[in-house]
């Protein structure tokens, strides 16, 4: 009840930044994926926090949005991990710096 | 009056076409095609039935006309009422202002046309049995011929211009198929295509003319010959179309319709196809390109005489073009060496006579010439066919001669034809040509008369030349060929005899010199009479008949004598190359050159430009867009690093920058 | 029910044809042919049904916009004839396509059925969304047919085809979307209701809606619609894809493209563009007439220069359909009837020509006209059918093409000027020139290549599927009333307009 | 007051776990840290009146998704340990970017006067179901729900297709290199 929206948002921002750092800074594909997950979580938190500033039923829209985010995250993890496996099996490596064939 | 039988007239030959067509198609694989007896029997039977039917109808028509005439005389009326059997079949299309029915109508004009179309048609089917007996595709040939007959019947029997147009294009198609019948020779195919194309130009004129006519009539008048005639015979309407914009419309309409006629009847300017059409088998030339199809232009003018007399300018044009064509073709016929070409130009020339007659307002004279010409030109062509047949395909007159004794029957028949066409007394041409000359004198002025009589002299010259070169001069035939010369079988001889007799006797259908014999004119009077009376007015003065007759006879005899002087003594000088001298060639191909310059080359040049310039240009435009996209692709690819993290980081930085920029702008604007 | 089936049956047929258990190609062909005949049986009764429509089913409502997407089919004579036309052409395309499809008959049949389904959907749709969906969907099977079964340059042809089609349809999509956002407001203003209502894009509702749009905006929408249909037709300037697609695709797909898909372009003008934008159509009618006549001429001139059979036929299609556009914009009853008849007549004759051209190409293994000759002696049945179809395509009296051409020229004469008629008419002469040249090269003359060891001609089945088409052409040439009357029924005035609105109102009341 | 204490606790755990994710050597460690962050986030959800999402967070996220991740990590790591380094120069650069992001967000937030409203409803199952599938009126959510269903289906099919071939044939680098 008394938790301030700003604190929630700040927490979300920090988690987002951490997720981004993991997604961008790490070379291991696992960390990239997990960083993305963390960012999604931060976004969810932000959704919920903002939803508390709306009156009446419209606040519930903010509650429903994370539901979809979770669903999409599940799909993303599903496909992402499958791709990761096939990449690993092709390349024997999970180092993103090894993957530079896209430009060719 | 309603007559339920008219539809049978075209359907009978159509059945013949279907039977023979299926026979031909189903036996295409076998080595010698369908049985000649069966296909021949079918081919002759159906046209003959059609002929019988048209004889019966004509007899009935004459009877009805006579009884009506009697009634009118008894009642003290002075009317020439049209006896017309109609059979409207169904509504062809009925949309907006366009209400066109599909039906047939039979009156005196149609009756006369049908008599000789089906009659000569049957004879020529018979002739073809012998002529094409050794050809692999004779069943196909007979099928085409029957199809032609069906279309020709539709052409004359249609109750409105559009049904006529159906037959009009149909005969064009059959003409195409038959000219190109021996299609392995590409030249034949080219000739056939030329015929179809040139005719199509005329047909477009026909259609546009109909549009204009429709415009004048308005949507309420039924678009049948009956409706059109009645509309134009109304004096109030005649006054209306005589002046102002309606007159211009009518002139345009009639000129365009006449253009259609020049296409079908090979007049200036659309005459180049007819000489080429001689590439077809000779029975085809006789039936289609001499007796029937090419005269359908004259028929149409007669059919729509009420329309044409309302447009005096067009009538002048018709007369002048007719005279010019007659003269030009006669001169051309003078220099030809191919026997069929001579006859072809002669046909063009005679058709010119018919148009001259129509142009000076003598529709019945023109149609009478159609009638007599059908006989003598058919017999001339069939005779020529017989000669060619006997000589094993030789068509060059320089390699003929002395055949009178070898082919007595053929010679007799052709002599009859020659007798008729030169206008010697008693022959068919004597009556009809003199009639035309007389009418030209009366209504056409002296200039046209001089051209016409000069053409008559030329006609006598070139026809006599033909007879001399083929029959009377010493033989120049290749000895090897001469060995095999034989008279034709009975199926070819019988038509020759009948038509030969016809070309001697047909003229008596309207022997204007013999009092009381004006059967032809009387029969036609209800159809074209009002139009003629309108133009000629009451005949106040009688022409100097004796003088004109004498002039006509002098022309014929003079021409014959001249020809004997020219060709009998010196025989024929053969040029080395076998080709015509330059001047003759140029004169012969005058209109071909004109067509090339006016129509063919421009079309080819424009289409070449479109294909070689415009199309690549459009393609280039499309390619250019494609290249642009690719160039952009390269540009953006150059921006990429091959490091995943860097790429992602850069895009994240980009997002950050956008965000910062947004905030900054927001702040600044605040 | 029949209406639903006319669209759904080919879809089912596509699935069945794909997964049927036929082992070899001929078995697959037999299955597909049975399906095609069944569809023909289902579609044919539409012709006697007059105007009919289905209950509009709301699919869903566009979120945040409030416009319904509906499954709503309706038909009158025009649509019914188009559906039946395609149902007639599909068996022929399947049987003659056998020569090109080879072992992949099942895929081929399936794609052909898909195309049939989408095309039926496009002409039966009474809702703009639905129409657009089907209109675009047609592209997919057509492209695949070209890209999978085509000739040497099939990739290029397919790419051109797709790119041009998209150039035409993307602006259309934008326009439709924009209209969708307007529809609810329009309905609200109509009913004066406080409750927020949903709009629809049914053709009848659109007529009212468009009347309220500002003229400038309407002009742009008009342009985008016109562009989409002009590309499908196509007209001169947008014709680059046509010859490639028609010449490089398999003959069966060319036949369907010209016989059916190009007709949807004309249908778009007839059913959608002119009724929905009467003012714009009237304002630009001169331009469209000139464009049509230019197309007629350009097509004819280009056809004269071509040396490949199907390119000649492609440009001939361009030329013939151009006349339709020119005539339509005279807004005369004769033109409308003539165009409807043109759709049927040209569909039948051109498709037959393309299919036969495909057969000839498969015999000679060449597309160049100089490699052909004397087919009338070697293959008489083929020659008869080809010649008949060629004559029908040049509009010889006695075939349906003549009546169509006559009516269109008459309309141009009355509604435009004599000069346009003369120009269009001279192209008719040219059409004889190039068509006869083609006939000459293929059927007559001497055989250019070695004579075949075996006599060869069309199979019995091939003759049997083509003969009815040509027979129909001749019958309609003498008695075109069944098709002409189709042009008169005015579907738009009789669709259940109020239904969607009242449904909404009762909804609102119920709440 | 007690809520704020809990919040502080959870927030601390979440941030620490997040930091562990960034710096962990082994993916398994990272995964475990992520699970921790998620569980503590779920606690925070519960604190801010969203019981349904809190449950879902544990069930789906921490339970299902992360289980999947851990499972894959363990499958791939049977052969050899991950040889990838933790942080390098590029990583540091990227971290700076990430840090800047956080800074911007914080900056913006600090200047935004927002207050929670007392009448904001609880995110119960009932309330969320009513929003998702409204009985009356129109809403975009059902359409979106359908779309997400499609996305999930596609993802499943895609995942199966991506890994299917590998099950049949022995792994070979040359095959697809």
Judged against a pLDDT cut of 60, whether residue D83 lies above it is answered with no
Question: Is A46 touching D (CB cutoff 8 A)?
Answer: no
Interchain contact, B645 vs D91, CB within 8 Å: yes
Q: How far apart are CA C300 and CA C319, in angstroms?
A: 6
Cα angle at B160 between B154 and B161, to 5 degrees? 85
Q: How many CB atoms lie within 10 A of CB C42?
A: 18
Could you count the other beta carbons within 10 Å of the beta carbon of residue D58? 19
- Side-chain half-sphere CA neighbours of B222 within 13 A: 14
Count of domains for chain A: 1
Residue range C220-232: mean pLDDT, rounded: 92
Cα A66 to the center of its chain, rounded Å: 11
Q: Work out the number of other CB atoms within 10 angstroms of the CB of residue D12.
A: 12
| φ, ψ dihedrals at B511, nearest 5° | -85, 90
Per-residue pLDDT for C433 more than 70?
A: yes
CA neighbor of C392 nearest in space, from B28, B190, B207, B173: B173
Residues from chain B that touch C483, judged by Cβ atoms under 8 A, are none
Evaluate whether chains A and C are touching (3 or more beta carbon pairs less than 8 Å apart).
no
Read out DSSP for C22-87? --SHHHHHHHHHHHHHHHHHHHGGGGGS-SEEPPPEEEEEPTTT-BEEEE-BEE-HHHHHHHHHHH
pLDDT band at C504 (very low <50, low <70, confident <90, very high): very low
| pLDDT exceeds 60 at position D78 | no
**Neighbouring C-beta atoms of residue B18, cutoff 10 Å:** 17
Going from the first residue of chain B to its last (670 residues), give the mean pLDDT of each consecutive group of 10, the final group possibly shorter.
82 91 82 77 90 90 82 70 83 84 89 90 89 83 92 92 92 91 85 90 92 87 87 83 85 93 90 88 88 90 89 90 92 86 91 91 88 90 88 81 83 90 85 86 86 90 88 79 78 87 83 69 77 67 77 88 76 54 80 87 90 88 89 83 76 89 86
Contact C224, C273 (CB under 8 A): no
Whether A43 contacts chain D with CB within 8 A:
no
Contacts of D98 in chain B (CB under 8 A): 652
For residues C215-234, b (16+ Cβ closer than 10 Å) or e, as one string? eeebbebbebbbbbbbbbbb
Q: Is D126 on the interface with A (CB under 8 A)?
A: no
Hey, what are A74's tokens?
């599940």
What are the phi and psi torsion angles at C233 (to 5°)?
Answer: -60, -55
Domain ranges of chain B: 315-572, 613-669
Q: CATH second-level architecture of D1-86?
A: Up-down Bundle (1.20)
Identity of the residue in A20, A100, A102 whose CB atom sits nearest the CB atom of B652: A20
The pair of structure tokens assigned to B399 is 């390699």
Determine the angle formed by the axes of helices A29-51 and D27-47, rounding to 10 degrees. Answer: 10
Q: For residue B242, what pLDDT is reported?
A: 78
- Does residue A26 have a pLDDT over 50? yes
Give pLDDT, residue C113. 93
Cα–Cα distance between C158 and C145 in angstroms, integer?
9
Q: Does A66 touch chain D (CB under 8 A)?
A: yes
Beta bridge partners of B91: B101
Taking the mean position of all CA atoms in its chain, how far away is CA C198? 33
The minimal CB distance from D143 to the residues C60, C66, C198 is found for C60
Sign of CA dihedral B27, B30, B33, B35: negative
CB C61 within 8 A of CB C68: yes
Cα separation, C464 vs C194, in Å, equals 63
More confident residue, A102 or A40: A40
Per-residue confidence band for D87, with pLDDT thresholds at 50, 70 and 90: low
Angle (nearest 5°) at CA B211 between B228 and B111: 40
**ipTM reported for the complex, 2 dp:** 0.77
- Position C391 pLDDT exceeds 50: yes
Residue C470 has pLDDT above 90, yes or no: yes
Q: What angle do CA B448, B453, B457 make, to 5 degrees?
A: 145
What is the pLDDT at residue B642?
A: 67
- Mark yes or no for CB contact A24/B640 under 8 Å: no
Calpha distance B436→B364 (Å, rounded): 10
H-helix or E-strand spanning residue B98: strand B98-106
Higher-pLDDT residue of C365 and B575 is C365
Q: List the single residue in B643, B653, B663 with the smallest CB-CB distance to D97.
A: B653
Question: Out of B168, B196, B611, whose CB is closest to C305?
Answer: B611
**Rounded distance, CA B367 to CA B365, Å?**
5
Q: Is D88 on the interface with A (CB under 8 A)?
A: yes
Domains in chain D: boundaries: 1-86
Determine the 3-state secondary structure of B184 from DSSP: coil
Check residue D171 and give its pLDDT.
47
The arithmetic mean of pLDDT across residues A17-30, rounded, is: 87
Only one residue has tokens 């034809």, namely: B417
Give the relative orientation of helices D27-47 and D2-23 as an angle to the nearest 10 degrees.
160
pLDDT (0 to 100) of residue D58:
93
Is C194 exposed, middle or buried, given 0-12, 13-18 or 19+ CB atoms closer than 10 A? Answer: exposed
The answer to whether B217 and B279 are in contact (CB under 8 A) is no
Comparing alpha-carbon positions, the chain A residue that sits nearest to B648 is: A24
Distances (CA, A) of C349 to B345, C89, C436, C471, C485: 39, 10, 15, 11, 21
Q: Which residue of D has its CA nearest to A84?
A: D72
Q: Could you read off the pLDDT of D96-127 as tens digits, one per residue?
A: 888 888 888 888 887 777 777 777 788 888 88
Which residues, other chains included, contact B574 with Cβ-Cβ below 8 Å and sequence gap of 6+?
B398
pLDDT of residue B426: 80
Q: Which chains touch A (3 or more CB pairs under 8 A)?
A: B, D
> What is d(CA B533, CA D143) in angstroms, rounded to the nearest whole number?
86
Chain A / chain B CB contacts < 8 angstroms: 24
3-state secondary structure of D133: coil
Q: Which pLDDT belongs to residue C455?
A: 64
Quick: pLDDT tens for D130-157.
888 887 767 778 888 999 999 999 999 9
Residue C386 tokens read as 């080809």
B653 to chain D, any CB pair closer than 8 A? The answer is: yes
pTM comes to 0.83
pLDDT at C505 over 80: no
Residue from C163, C396, C436 whose CB has the most chain B CBs within 10 Å, to mutate = C436
pLDDT band at residue D165 using 50, 70 and 90 as cut-offs: low
Contacts of D126 (CB under 8 A, 6+ apart): none
The domain containing residue A12 runs over which residues? 5-101
User: Are B and A close enough to touch, i.e. 3+ CB pairs under 8 angstroms?
Assistant: yes
- CATH number of the domain within which A35 lies: 1.10.287.3510
Q: Is D63 on the interface with A (CB under 8 A)?
A: no
């Amino acid at each position: 009840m008394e938790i301030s929206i700003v604190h929630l948002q700040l927490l979300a921002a920090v988690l987002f930044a951490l997720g981004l750092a993991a997604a961008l800074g790490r070379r291991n594909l696992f960390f990239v994926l997990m960083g993305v997950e963390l960012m999604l979580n931060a976004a969810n938190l932000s959704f919920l926090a903002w939803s508390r500033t709306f009156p009446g039923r419209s606040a519930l829209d903010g509650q429903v949005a994370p539901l979809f985010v979770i669903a999409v995250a599940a799909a993303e993890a599903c496909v992402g991990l499958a791709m990761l496996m096939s990449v690993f099996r092709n390349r024997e490596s999970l180092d993103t710096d090894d993957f530079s064939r896209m430009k060719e | 009056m309603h007559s339920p039988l008219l539809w049978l007239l075209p359907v009978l030959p159509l059945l013949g076409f279907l039977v023979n067509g299926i026979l031909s198609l189903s036996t295409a694989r076998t080595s010698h095609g369908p049985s000649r007896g069966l296909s021949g029997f079918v081919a002759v039977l159906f046209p003959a039935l059609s002929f019988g039917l048209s004889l019966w109808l004509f007899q009935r028509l004459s009877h009805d006309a006579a009884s009506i005439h009697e009634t009118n005389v008894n009642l003290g009326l002075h009317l020439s009422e049209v006896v017309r059997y109609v059979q409207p079949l169904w509504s062809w299309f009925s949309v907006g202002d366009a209400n066109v029915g599909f039906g047939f109508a039979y009156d005196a004009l149609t009756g006369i046309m049908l008599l000789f179309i089906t009659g000569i048609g049957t004879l020529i089917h018979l002739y073809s049995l012998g002529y094409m007996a050794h050809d692999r595709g004779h069943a196909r040939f007979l099928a085409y011929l029957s199809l032609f007959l069906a279309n020709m019947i539709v052409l004359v029997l249609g109750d409105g211009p559009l049904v006529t147009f159906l037959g009009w294009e149909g005969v064009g198609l059959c003409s195409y198929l038959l000219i190109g019948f021996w299609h392995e020779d590409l030249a034949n195919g080219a000739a056939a295509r030329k015929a179809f194309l040139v005719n199509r130009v005329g047909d477009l004129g026909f259609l546009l003319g109909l549009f204009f006519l429709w415009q004048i009539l308005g949507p309420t008048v039924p678009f049948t010959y009956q409706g059109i005639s009645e509309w134009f015979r109304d004096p109030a309407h005649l006054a209306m179309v005589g002046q102002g914009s309606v007159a211009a419309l009518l002139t345009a309409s009639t000129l365009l319709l006449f253009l259609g006629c020049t296409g079908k009847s090979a007049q200036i300017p659309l005459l180049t196809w007819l000489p080429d059409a001689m590439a077809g088998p000779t029975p085809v030339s006789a039936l289609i390109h001499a007796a029937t199809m090419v005269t359908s232009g004259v028929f149409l003018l007669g059919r729509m005489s009420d329309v044409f007399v309302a447009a005096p300018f067009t009538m002048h044009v018709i007369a002048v073009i007719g005279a010019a064509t007659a003269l030009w073709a006669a001169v051309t016929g003078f220099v030809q060496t191919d026997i069929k070409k001579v006859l072809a130009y002669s046909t063009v020339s005679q058709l010119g006579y018919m148009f001259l007659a129509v142009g000076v307002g003598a529709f019945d004279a023109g149609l009478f010439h159609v009638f007599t010409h059908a006989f003598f030109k058919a017999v001339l062509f069939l005779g020529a066919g017989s000669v060619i047949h006997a000589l094993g395909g030789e068509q060059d007159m320089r390699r003929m001669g002395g055949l009178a004794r070898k082919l007595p029957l053929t010679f007799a028949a052709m002599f009859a034809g020659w007798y008729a066409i030169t206008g010697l007394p008693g022959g068919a041409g004597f009556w009809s040509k003199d009639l035309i000359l007389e009418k030209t004198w009366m209504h056409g002025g002296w200039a046209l008369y001089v051209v016409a009589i000069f053409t008559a002299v030329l006609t006598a010259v070139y026809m006599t030349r033909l007879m001399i070169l083929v029959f009377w001069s010493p033989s120049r035939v290749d000895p090897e060929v001469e060995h095999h010369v034989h008279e034709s079988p009975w199926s070819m001889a019988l038509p020759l005899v009948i038509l030969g007799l016809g070309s001697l006797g047909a003229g008596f259908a309207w022997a204007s010199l013999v009092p009381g014999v004006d059967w032809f004119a009387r029969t036609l009077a209800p159809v074209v009479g009002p139009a003629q009376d309108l133009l000629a007015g009451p005949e106040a003065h009688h022409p100097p008949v004796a003088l004109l007759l004498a002039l006509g006879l002098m022309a014929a005899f003079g021409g014959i004598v001249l020809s004997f002087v020219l060709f009998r003594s010196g025989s024929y000088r053969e040029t080395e190359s076998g080709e015509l001298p330059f001047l003759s060639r140029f004169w012969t191909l005058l209109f071909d050159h004109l067509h090339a310059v006016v129509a063919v080359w421009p079309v080819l040049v424009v289409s070449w430009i479109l294909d070689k310039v415009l199309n690549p240009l459009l393609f280039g435009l499309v390619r250019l867009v494609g290249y642009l996209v690719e160039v952009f692709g390269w540009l953006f690819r150059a921006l990429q690093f091959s490091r995943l993290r860097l790429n992602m980081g850069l895009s994240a930085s980009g997002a950050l920058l956008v965000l910062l920029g947004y905030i900054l702008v927001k702040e600044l604007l605040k | 029910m029949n209406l639903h089936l006319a669209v759904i049956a080919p879809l089912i047929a596509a699935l069945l044809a794909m997964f049927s258990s036929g082992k070899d190609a001929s078995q697959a062909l037999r299955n597909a042919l049975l399906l095609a005949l069944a569809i023909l049986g289902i579609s044919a009764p539409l012709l006697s049904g007059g105007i009919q429509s289905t209950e509009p089913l709301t699919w869903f409502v566009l979120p945040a916009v409030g416009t319904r997407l509906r499954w709503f089919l309706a038909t009158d004579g025009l649509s019914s004839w188009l559906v039946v036309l395609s149902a007639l052409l599909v068996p022929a395309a399947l049987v003659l396509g056998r020569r090109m499809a080879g072992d992949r008959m099942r895929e081929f049949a399936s794609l052909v059925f898909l195309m049939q389904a989408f095309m039926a959907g496009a002409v039966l749709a009474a809702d703009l969304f639905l129409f657009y969906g089907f209109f675009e969907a047609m592209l997919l099977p057509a492209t695949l047919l070209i890209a999978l079964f085509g000739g040497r340059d099939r990739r290029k042809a397919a790419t051109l085809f797709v790119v041009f089609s998209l150039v035409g349809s993307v602006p259309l999509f934008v326009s439709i979307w924009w209209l969708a956002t307007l529809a609810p407001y329009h309905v609200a203003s109509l009913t004066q209701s406080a409750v927020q209502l949903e709009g629809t894009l049914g053709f009848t509702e659109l007529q009212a809606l468009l009347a309220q749009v500002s003229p400038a905006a309407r002009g742009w929408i008009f342009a985008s619609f016109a562009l989409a249909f002009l590309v499908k037709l196509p007209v001169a300037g947008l014709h680059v894809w046509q010859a490639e697609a028609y010449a490089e695709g398999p003959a069966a797909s060319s036949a369907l493209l010209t016989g059916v898909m190009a007709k949807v372009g004309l249908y778009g003008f007839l059913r959608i563009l002119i009724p929905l934008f009467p003012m714009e159509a009237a304002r630009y009618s001169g331009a469209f007439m000139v464009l049509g006549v230019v197309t007629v001429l350009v097509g004819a001139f280009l056809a004269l220069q071509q040396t490949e059979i199907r390119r000649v036929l492609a440009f001939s299609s361009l030329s013939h359909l151009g006349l339709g556009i020119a005539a339509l914009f005279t807004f005369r009853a004769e033109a409308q009837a003539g165009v409807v008849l043109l759709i049927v007549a040209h569909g039948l004759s051109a498709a037959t020509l393309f299919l036969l051209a495909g057969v000839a190409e498969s015999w000679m293994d060449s597309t160049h006209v100089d490699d052909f000759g004397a087919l009338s002696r070697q293959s008489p049945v083929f020659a008869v059918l080809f010649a008949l179809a060629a004559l029908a395509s040049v509009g010889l009296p006695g075939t349906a093409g003549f009546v169509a051409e006559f009516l269109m020229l008459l309309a141009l004469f009355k509604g435009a000027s004599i000069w346009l008629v003369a120009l269009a008419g001279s192209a008719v002469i040219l059409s004889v020139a190039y068509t006869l040249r083609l006939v000459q090269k293929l059927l007559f003359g001497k055989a250019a290549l070695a004579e075949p060891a075996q006599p060869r001609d069309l199979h019995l089945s091939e003759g049997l599927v083509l003969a009815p088409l040509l027979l129909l052409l001749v019958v309609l040439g003498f008695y075109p009333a069944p098709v002409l009357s189709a042009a008169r029924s005015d579907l738009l005035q009789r669709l259940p307009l109020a239904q969607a609105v009242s449904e909404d109102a009762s909804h609102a009341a119920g709440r | 007051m007690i809520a704020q204490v809990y919040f502080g606790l959870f927030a601390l755990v979440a941030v620490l776990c997040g930091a562990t994710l960034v710096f962990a050597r082994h993916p398994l460690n990272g995964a475990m840290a992520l699970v921790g962050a998620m569980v503590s986030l779920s606690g925070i959800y519960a604190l801010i009146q969203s019981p349904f999402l809190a449950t879902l967070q544990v069930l789906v996220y921490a339970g299902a998704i992360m289980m999947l991740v851990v499972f894959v990590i363990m499958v791939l790591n049977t052969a050899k340990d991950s040889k990838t380094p933790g942080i390098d120069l590029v990583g540091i650069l990227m971290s700076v970017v990430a840090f800047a992001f956080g800074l911007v967000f914080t900056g913006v937030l600090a200047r935004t006067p927002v207050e929670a409203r007392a009448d904001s409803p609880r995110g119960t199952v009932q309330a969320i179901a009513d929003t998702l599938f409204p009985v009356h009126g129109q809403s975009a959510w059902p359409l979106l729900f359908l779309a997400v269903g499609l996305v999930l289906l596609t993802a499943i099919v895609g995942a199966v297709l991506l890994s299917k071939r590998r099950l049949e044939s022995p792994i070979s680098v040359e095959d697809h290199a």
